[in-house]
Amino acid sequence: MLIKRPPDIRPSEITPEQRYLDRRQFMRSAGAAGTGLLLGAGTAAGAADIPAKYRRLGDVRPSPLSTAETPNSFEDITRYNNFYEFGTGKDDPAKNSAAFRPKPWQVTVDGEVEQAGTFDYDDIVGPHPLEERIYRLRCVEAWSMVVPWVGFSLGDLIKRLKPTSRAKYVAFETIVRKEEMPGQRSRVLRWPYVEGLTMAEAMHPLTILAVGVYGVELPNQNGAPLRLVVPWKYGFKSIKSIVRISFSESQPRTTWNASAPGEYGFYANVNPAVDHPRWSQKRERVIGAGLFAGKKPTLLFNGYADQVAQLYSGLDLTRNF
Residues 6+ apart with CB under 8 A from 95: 86, 87
pLDDT digits (tens, 9 = 90+) for 166-196: 999 999 999 999 999 999 999 999 999 999 9
1-10, 17-26, 230-239, 303-312: least confident range: 17-26
Instruction: Specify whether the CB–CB gap between 56 and 14 falls below 8 A.
Output: yes
Cis peptide before 192 (omega within 30 of 0): yes
Per-residue confidence band for 43, with pLDDT thresholds at 50, 70 and 90: low
CA angle 104, 148, 70 (to 5 degrees): 160
Q: How many CB atoms lie within 10 A of CB 2?
A: 17
Instruction: Specify whether the CB–CB gap between 155 and 162 falls below 8 A.
Output: no
Instruction: Specify whether the CB–CB gap between 216 and 41 falls below 8 A.
Output: yes
| Residue 211 amino acid letter | V
**In angstroms, how far apart are the furthest CA atoms of the chain?**
54
| Residue 284 amino acid letter | E
Superfamily of domain 62-309: Oxidoreductase, molybdopterin-binding domain (3.90.420.10)
**Does the pLDDT value for residue 27 go beyond 60?**
no
Q: Mean of the per-residue pLDDT values for the chain?
A: 88
Domain boundaries in the chain? 62-309
pLDDT digits (tens, 9 = 90+) for 118-150: 999 999 999 999 999 999 999 999 999 999 999
Question: DSSP labels for 167-181?
Answer: --EEEEEE---TTT-
User: Cα separation of 61 and 244, whole Å?
Assistant: 27
pLDDT digits (tens, 9 = 90+) for 188-206: 999 999 999 999 999 999 9
User: What is the pLDDT at residue 11?
Assistant: 32
Instruction: Specify whether the CB–CB gap between 152 and 208 falls below 8 A.
Output: yes
What SS3 class is residue 88?
coil
User: Cα separation of 88 and 251, whole Å?
Assistant: 27
What SS3 class is residue 73?
coil
Strand 143-153 to 130-139 pairing = antiparallel
Instruction: Specify whether the CB–CB gap between 219 and 78 falls below 8 A.
Output: yes
User: What is the pLDDT at residue 292?
Assistant: 79
Among 249, 248, 252, which residue's Cα sits nearest to residue 239? 252
Q: Cα–Cα distances in Å, from 21 out to 17, 28, 31, 40, 127? A: 6, 11, 15, 7, 24
Residues 6+ apart with CB under 8 A from 102: 218, 220, 224, 225, 241
Strand ranges (E), 169-282: 169-174, 194-198, 208-213, 216-217, 227-229, 242-248
For the chain, what's the residue count?
Answer: 321
**Does the pLDDT value for residue 22 go beyond 80?**
no
Q: Which residues pair with 211 in a beta bridge?
A: none
Instruction: Specify whether the CB–CB gap between 221 and 78 falls below 8 A.
Output: yes
Q: Which residues pair with 229 in a beta bridge?
A: 208
Q: Which residues pair with 109 in a beta bridge?
A: 117, 245
User: What is the pLDDT at residue 46?
Assistant: 59
